[in-house]
Structure 1
Amino acid sequence: MPNPRLTGLGAGLFGSALMCALGCLDLLLFGASLTVYGVLFLPACLLTALWVRDADLLSVPVVAPIAFSVGLLPLAGGDGIGARLMGLVTALATQVGWLYGGTLLAALTVLARGLRRVAARRRNPARRQPTPRRDPS
Structure 2
Amino acid sequence: MCKSDPAGERSRPVTRRTLAHAFGVRDAALLRRWDRIGIGVRCAYNPMGPSALRHYLDAGRRVVSCGVLSELLVHRRMLTVLLQTAHDEALPWYWRSVCLEYTTLPLARLHALMKHHDPMACHALDCAVQSTHDVLAAAHARPGRR
How would you bin the TM-score normalised by the shorter chain? Answer: 0.3 to 0.5
**Bigger strand share:** 2
Structure (1 or 2) with the larger CA radius of gyration: 1
Bigger fraction of residues in helix: 1
Give the TM-score taking structure 2 as reference length.
0.41
- The alignment's TM-score, normalised by the length of structure 1, stands at 0.42
